[in-house]
């Protein structure tokens, strides 16, 4: 959307004292009694990310429309189509209204997504995840939601400070080519799912591969469950593991070739800084598909990895 069309949208939304400034449009914030144009929106990125510098929040143009008009984001996209027909094409990408990684960086290099991004997805719980034996109240605790358009169960990811940093979508379509989808260029290798939760340093970390494994680990009441969102632990994730202060790490990765290779690489990266234990997951299974009691038994049988390399 060009600046002229964007200006028309903002005016129709009731924003006042608009002024163009270095790739942005500044205005009085619509969410507080503003006298000094403390609100700005980008005219250059495709999502038109906005922010109130007085602390009222931030988001994208679609989120702004949704918030001001008290409608959901899908309805907001339809409302925006009257100003620019191309909005419909962008909407078909499904995540265009979630700020991308680069758009969400602060001047200090930090990264977070506005909490309003959660409204992009449906709060209803899809039957595919309920069939795995999780209750609705349990799934709500972990903010699990649904992307009906892309047919995915969505897992929000937060950093160690509790700030929202991304979304992981797991398809419920059988035999789908793309099992997991990381919305809006989410740099999953920089985070661990679950790192915002309290860590008991006297107990081991339980590291799992995928979000469903993560849920099962919590359902089984394993302590300190963290998810690498894949079977490769990056250097950034390694730092997060070491920062927990725990001395032991139980790896609950699959026993397939990729999982075995990942455990060997993790052992080498740890270099003795944590004791690595290998949980004997039955071949051809993952903990997400096991019962909670079976996961507990497997975790208790974990053996020191270094002795069997």
Note the pLDDT tens digit of each residue in 181-201: 888 768 889 999 999 999 999
pLDDT on residue 104:
52
Is residue 217 located within the same domain as residue 285? yes
Q: Which residue has the higher pLDDT, 120 or 276?
A: 276
pLDDT on residue 295:
97
Within a domain: 18 = yes
pLDDT on residue 141:
95
Question: Residues near 146 by Cβ (< 8 Å), separated by ≥ 6?
Answer: 121, 122, 123, 124, 125, 126, 152, 153, 154
pLDDT on residue 98:
56
According to the per-residue pLDDT averaged within each range, which of 83-97, 190-204, 294-308 is highest? 190-204
Is residue 124 located within the same domain as residue 170? yes
Cα(23)–Cα(21) distance, integer angstroms: 6
Write down the pTM of the prediction. 0.70
pLDDT on residue 239:
96
Is residue 21 located within the same domain as residue 107? yes
Q: What share of the chain in percent tops pLDDT 70?
A: 88
Is residue 79 located within the same domain as residue 167? no
Q: Which domain holds residue 29?
A: 3-112
User: What's the average model confidence in pLDDT over 123-134?
Assistant: 93
| pLDDT tens for each residue of 197-219 | 999 999 999 999 999 999 999 99
Given 55, 80, 112, which residue is the final one in a domain?
Answer: 112
pLDDT on residue 149:
79
| 308 pLDDT higher than 60 | no
Given 112, 139, 162, which residue is the final one in a domain?
Answer: 112
Is residue 223 located within the same domain as residue 298? yes
Q: Which residue has the higher pLDDT, 254 or 184?
A: 254
Q: Which residue has the higher pLDDT, 207 or 48?
A: 207
Q: What is the CATH number of the domain that holds 134?
A: 3.90.980.10
Question: Residues near 157 by Cβ (< 8 Å), separated by ≥ 6?
Answer: 164, 165, 166, 167, 168, 186, 188, 191, 193, 229
| 106 pLDDT higher than 70 | no
Is residue 210 located within the same domain as residue 301? yes
Is residue 173 located within the same domain as residue 213? no
pLDDT on residue 294:
96
pLDDT on residue 107:
46
Is residue 75 located within the same domain as residue 38? yes
User: What's the average model confidence in pLDDT over 25-29?
Assistant: 93
Within a domain: 215 = yes
pLDDT on residue 180:
86
Is residue 123 located within the same domain as residue 107? no
Q: What is the CATH number of the domain that holds 58?
A: 3.90.580.10
Is residue 122 located within the same domain as residue 92? no
According to the per-residue pLDDT averaged within each range, which of 112-116, 257-261, 300-304 is highest? 300-304
Q: How many CB atoms lie within 10 A of CB 23?
A: 11
Within a domain: 198 = no
**Phi and psi angles of residue 20, each rounded to the nearest 5 degrees, phi first:** -80, 135
Within a domain: 193 = no
Contact, 122 vs 169, CB < 8 A? no
> Residue 3 carries which DSSP code?
H
| 102 pLDDT higher than 70 | no
Q: What is the largest CA-CA distance in the chain?
A: 69
Q: Considering only 10-14, 128-132, 146-150, which range has the smallest mean pLDDT?
A: 146-150
Q: What is the CATH number of the domain that holds 292?
A: 3.40.1360.10
Given 186, 213, 239, which residue is the final one in a domain?
Answer: 186
> Residue 175 carries which DSSP code?
T
Question: Residues near 253 by Cβ (< 8 Å), separated by ≥ 6?
Answer: 207, 208, 209, 231, 259, 262, 263, 281
Is residue 294 located within the same domain as residue 267? yes
Is beta strand 303-304 parallel, antiparallel or unpaired with respect to 275-278?
A: antiparallel
Is residue 169 located within the same domain as residue 211? no
Within a domain: 221 = yes
Q: Considering only 153-167, 172-186, 235-249, which range has the smallest mean pLDDT?
A: 172-186
pLDDT on residue 122:
82
Within a domain: 191 = no
Cα(60)–Cα(285) distance, integer angstroms: 41
pLDDT band at 95 (very low <50, low <70, confident <90, very high): very low
Number of independent structural domains in the chain: 3
Within a domain: 165 = yes
pLDDT on residue 84:
73
Q: What is the mean pLDDT of the chain?
A: 86
Cα(132)–Cα(227) distance, integer angstroms: 18
Within a domain: 17 = yes
pLDDT band at 131 (very low <50, low <70, confident <90, very high): very high
Q: Which residue has the higher pLDDT, 34 or 99?
A: 34
pLDDT on residue 99:
53
Contact, 231 vs 255, CB < 8 A? no
Cα(253)–Cα(74) distance, integer angstroms: 37
């Amino acid at each position: 959307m060009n600046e002229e069309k964007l200006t028309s949208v903002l005016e129709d939304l009731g924003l006042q004292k608009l002024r163009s400034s270095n790739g942005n449009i500044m205005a009085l914030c619509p969410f507080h009694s503003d006298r000094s144009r403390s609100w700005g929106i980008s005219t250059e990125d495709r999502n038109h990310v906005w922010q109130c510098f007085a602390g009222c929040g931030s988001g994208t143009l679609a989120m702004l429309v949704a918030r001001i008009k008290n409608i959901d984001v899908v309805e907001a996209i339809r409302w925006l189509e009257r100003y620019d027909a191309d909005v419909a094409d962008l909407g078909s990408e499904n995540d265009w209204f979630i700020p991308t990684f680069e758009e969400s960086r602060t001047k200090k290099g930090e990264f977070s997504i506005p909490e309003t991004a959660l409204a992009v997805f449906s709060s209803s719980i899809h039957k595919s995840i309920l069939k795995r034996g999780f209750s609705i109240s349990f799934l709500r605790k972990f903010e699990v939601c649904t992307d009906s358009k892309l047919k995915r169960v969505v897992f929000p990811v937060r950093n160690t400070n509790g700030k929202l940093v991304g979304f992981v979508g797991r398809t419920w379509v059988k035999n789908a080519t793309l099992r997991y989808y990381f919305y809006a260029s989410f740099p999953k290798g920089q985070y661990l799912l679950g790192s915002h939760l309290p860590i008991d340093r006297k107990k081991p970390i339980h590291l799992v591969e995928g979000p469903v494994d993560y849920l099962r680990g919590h359902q089984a009441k394993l302590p300190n469950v963290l998810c690498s969102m894949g079977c490769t632990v990056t250097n950034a994730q390694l730092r997060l593991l070491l920062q927990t202060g725990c001395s032991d790490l139980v790896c609950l990765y699959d026993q397939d070739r990729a999982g075995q290779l990942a455990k060997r690489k993790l052992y080498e990266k740890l270099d003795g800084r944590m004791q690595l234990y290998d949980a004997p997951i039955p071949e051809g299974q993952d903990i997400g598909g096991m019962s909670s009691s079976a996961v507990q038994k497997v975790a208790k049988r974990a053996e020191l990895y270094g002795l069997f390399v």
